[in-house]
A and B are shown apart, each in its own frame.
Chain A
Amino acid sequence: VVQLHHRIDELRATGAEVHVIGNGTPNFIAGFREVTGWRGPLYTDPSLVAYERAGMKRGVMKTLNFGAAVRTLGALGRGAKQGRTQGDAWQQGGIVVIDVGGDVLWTHASDAPGDNASVEQIVAGLNRSPPGTQAR
């Protein structure tokens, strides 16, 4: 989210809006804004139903794996800080890009912490034609 926050103008220049969805209770939203600096649309899905239907992954082994540990240690070494976990610790995140009308243009479901999509990948996804149609 911090990476997206810094490059939000690039994403909005495509005509799309960025909506962040977390999974704690609504009263954690203010703290999330404070930690990340995110000022855009922000919601929460404590039931995790939207996560499930969006194809996001969940599981202990997806959270606790060697690659994730290395990335986390690297991030901490570069000065990043992880706040106290608010929400489901085993739930992974990801991105779904949806066109007006409901066609899903692109998705990324994280396999593990640190497995994040880049802004370039998201922009490429926005420029992709809906499945089953000809290229724009």
Chain B
Amino acid sequence: MVRATLGGMLTRADDLASLSVLDEDGGQVTLGSLWRERPAILVFVRHFG
């Protein structure tokens, strides 16, 4: 897998775009849909708690 990085920093989100996460009903949401129409701020939290 080739990661788009510049000086170690992620520069493109292509690797993320195809991944799915789960919503609260357990439904799959494609990450790429989150920045299709407006910029996205993805906040990865350490854990739920």
Binding site for B on A (CB under 8 A): 1, 4, 11, 14-24, 26, 28-32, 35, 41-46, 49-51, 53-56, 82-89, 91-105, 107, 110, 113, 122, 126, 130-132
**Binary CB contact string for chain B from 3 to 18 against chain A (1 if under 8 A, 0 otherwise):** 1101001111111110
Chain A residues contacting B31 (CB-CB under 8 Å) are 50
Instruction: Report the 7 A-B pairs with minimum CB-CB distance, sorted nearest first.
Output: A87-B47, A86-B48, A16-B39, A43-B21, A29-B24, A83-B49, A24-B48
Contact present for B40 and A16 (CB under 8 Å): yes
**Contact status A98-B24, CB under 8 Å:** no
Interface size on B, residues (CB 8 A): 38
Complex CA–CA separation, A45 to B9 (angstroms): 22
Which residues of chain B are near A19, meaning CB under 8 Å?
Answer: 34, 40-43
Looking across the interface, which residue of chain A has its beta carbon closest to that of B24? A29
- A97 shortest CB reach to chain B, Å: 5
Knowing A50-B19, A96-B13, the reply to whether A102 touches B39 (Cβ < 8 A) is no
A126-B41 contact given A82-B49, A86-B47, A103-B12, CB 8 Å threshold: yes
Task: Tell me, rounded to whole Å, the shortest Cβ–Cβ distance linking B23 to chain A.
Answer: 6
